[in-house]
Structure 1
């Protein structure tokens, strides 16, 4: 009989976009139950992966009463399923999932830390979120940081002990399927002209691209400001922004929001399930985030042969090697960001060399099949250790 494995995320899009390939693989060896808040993406996971799904609503905000209800519902699911392993991702799913798994006695309780929102918070909220990280780690049997720098942050801030935390492979939550994120696929090449036409791009347009949530923590204000300065000098430049606004959680300043909607050089698109065609028409990917775990989108851009400009934070500065596959700039620094964007526009040979190196680096370090095998080996190891103790 197969061991039961529960994978839990706060929102279903994480299961669909980041973890679906892992779910498909693990279903060969485990009875897999994917749990997340309700939504179309969760139903899609159930259709596209040979796993069972269960909706348990969780919020991404500080909501104590709703969180208690979430813990209760997760406990009921775990008592009914009796999983051998519960593996959680994202902060709220980690907190609720690890507490529930501890309460009902799940033997192997794993949590992956892919980012620390607490780093950009202040006051009581910062203290509260710090306590939740400590509590999540205390309830887990093992913690997996998705980058070496993230592991050091967790230990240095005493969110977790060094004995409990490790990095699987070279890092990343799900790795990148470079056979899918491949700029030479016939369908991707064929879609370039259509995509450029749909976005009203001239033949000589130079495209900077950002893909992610349109929120302050992603450095959107700095990116828009830097681009607008450059656009005054070269109106052939285009800034392509792909991703949803989150006005309730982290709204952008009204002036930046207005520029995104009205500036003639900016193109905005809401969330897209397939971002490859947008990366394929991009000359440079720009990601000036304030905090990250190990951002998938930078690896996706690299796999598509797009050089990156990133902020000097953990995750970003581990994927990008300065001058080799991109440039690294200080956080929240518009002048340095503008200079880096201008540099890659002005140096096509350097840009081409970076593009070539980018795909090779992702293939050698972060191929998804390699990471999935390493995660499976970790599951097997933890099951063996538990069996030996009992």
Structure 2
């Protein structure tokens, strides 16, 4: 029996993290699936629709609060759902989730699923916090199922009464999509890239590379990381900080930090990279100094590439490593961050062991095909 599944996201750049190649996997195993993605229009959406084999539905979804446009998008999406005889609607992120759940509720779709990738109001205050929390409550109340990407997200959802406890589910140990441990994030598959990519980015043979992948924003701790990095370059000569990701206007880093990232010889900034997987191979350790996460996929990817992890105890991050086995926790303060980086630089044998253990940890708990099988059982056919 044909089954039409619609995913709703705000921006197409999140699709590789939220769904990856699962559409291809499901269609290979069951030719009756048809996948649709409603998303703000872009060239990248068109490109992904061809490579991942889904029908694109251009729909303006503003990430900021836009009441008039949001209402237009809700009713347009309701019409799209009915015209395409959608069976399952899956919403991602607060805005995409809210529009998806309201539209699918109005269209009387029985299988309405919201992926709670994080808690945005965690680092907000005042009216903004009130607004974001109530958006989560509206979305959660209209969903039939809420996928919490970590146990901590589930606990916060219950504590803040964002929806009925009975709706909350977790995929395995946590995550939204898992990691391709044997293909894309397998160190053994990327050896030929090592020398060329290091040379292209001005990394010397003796350089120790601390890497980061993600948006360069305050919530990710980038301001704090650069302050810590200034302590590191006073202490060590052959070190590089590799930042893979774009600056953003929302929650942007301060101007001083922005300029230091551009100007410092010891900092390599790639800007936006379509496929970040190759860059893990030229790192010696991975750092995520985040203030909040849902469940950091980048940490799992780095661990799968046998990198020791440095991260915080923020929501989500605390579940992404095993302390002192696959990585190290630190408090978000420049001296604490610098101490964690120093401990990795000065203990290379232990760091290598953590990387090996990290890959074992990810394979055992987050291998993507096992997560996809749970998604099919719990969401697509339930």
Residue among 101, 104, 108 paired with 1:101:
104
Equivalences for residues 136-285 of structure 1 within 5 A: 136-179=139-182, 180-185=184-189, 188-247=190-249, 249-285=250-286
Structure 1, unaligned runs of 5 or more:
383-390
- Structure 2 counterpart of 1:113, from 111, 116, 124: 116
Task: Note the alpha carbon deviations across 1:212-247, whole angstroms, 9 max, x for none.
Answer: 001000000111111111101112111111101112
Deviation at 1:7, TM superposition (A): 1.3
Counterpart in the other structure of 1:386: none
CA distance in 1, matches of 2:380, 2:289: 38
The answer to whether residue 13 in structure 2 is matched with residue 22 in structure 1 is: no
- What residue ranges of structure 2 are gaps of 5+ in the alignment? none
Moved more, 339-348 or 8-17: 8-17
Equivalent residue number for residue 388 of structure 1? none
Show the counterpart of 1:310: 311
Q: TM-score when scaled to structure 1?
A: 0.94
Of residues 20-29 and 202-211 in structure 1, the stretch that sits farther from structure 2 once superposed is: 20-29
**Runs of 4+ residues deviating >3 angstroms:** none
Residue range with higher mean Cα deviation, 155-164 or 94-103: 155-164
Q: Deviations over 1:146-204 (max 9, x none)?
A: 1111100111111122111111211101100112211111xx21111111111111211
Residue deviations 1:75-115 (CA, integer Å, cap 9, x gap) = 11112122111011111110100010011101110011011
Secondary structure in 2 matching 1:201: coil
Contact 2:295 2:317 in 1 (8 A): yes
Counterparts of 2:114 and 2:274, CA distance in 1 = 26
**3-state SS of the aligned residue for 1:82?**
coil
**Aligned with 1:251: secondary structure?**
coil
CA displacement at 1:52 relative to structure 2? 1.5
Instruction: Give runs of aligned pairs for residues 70-85 of structure 1, distance below 5 A.
Output: 70-85=73-88
Normalised by the length of structure 2, the TM-score is 0.96
CA distance in 2, matches of 1:235, 1:61: 43
Alpha-carbon distance in 1 for matches of 2:169, 2:17: 24
Contact 2:149–2:171, Cα closer than 8 Å, also in 1: yes
Structure 2: distance between partners of 1:337 and 1:380 = 42
TM-superposed deviation, 1:323: 0.3
Give distance in 2, aligned partners of 1:53 and 1:18. 16
The alignment status of 1:37 with 2:27, answered yes or no, reads no
Q: Following the alignment from structure 1 to structure 2, what is the Cα–Cα distance between the partners of residues 114 and 17?
A: 11
Could you say if the C-alpha distance between residues 149 and 3 of structure 1 is closer, same or farther in structure 2, counting changes exceeding 3 Å? same
- Is the Cα contact below 8 Å between 2:158 and 2:165 reproduced in 1? yes
Moved more, 249-258 or 23-32: 23-32
> Following superposition of structure 1 onto structure 2, how do residues 46-65 of structure 1 map, counting pairs within 5 Å?
46-65=49-68
The CA RMSD measured in Å over matched residues stands at 1.2
C-alpha displacement of 1:17: 4.2
Asked if 1 retains the 8 angstrom alpha-carbon contact of 2:175 and 2:297, the reply is: yes
- Contact 1:261–1:268 at 8 Å: present in 2 too? yes
- The residue matched to 2:20 in structure 1 has which SS? helix
Match of residue 372 from structure 1: 372
- C-alpha contact 2:232 2:342 (8 A) present in aligned 1: yes
Deviations 1:243-292 (A, max 9, x none): 01112x11211110111011121110111122222111111100001000
The secondary structure found in structure 1 opposite 2:187 is coil
Aligned length: 378
- The residue number in structure 2 matching 1:339 is 339
Q: CA deviation at 1:381?
A: 5.3
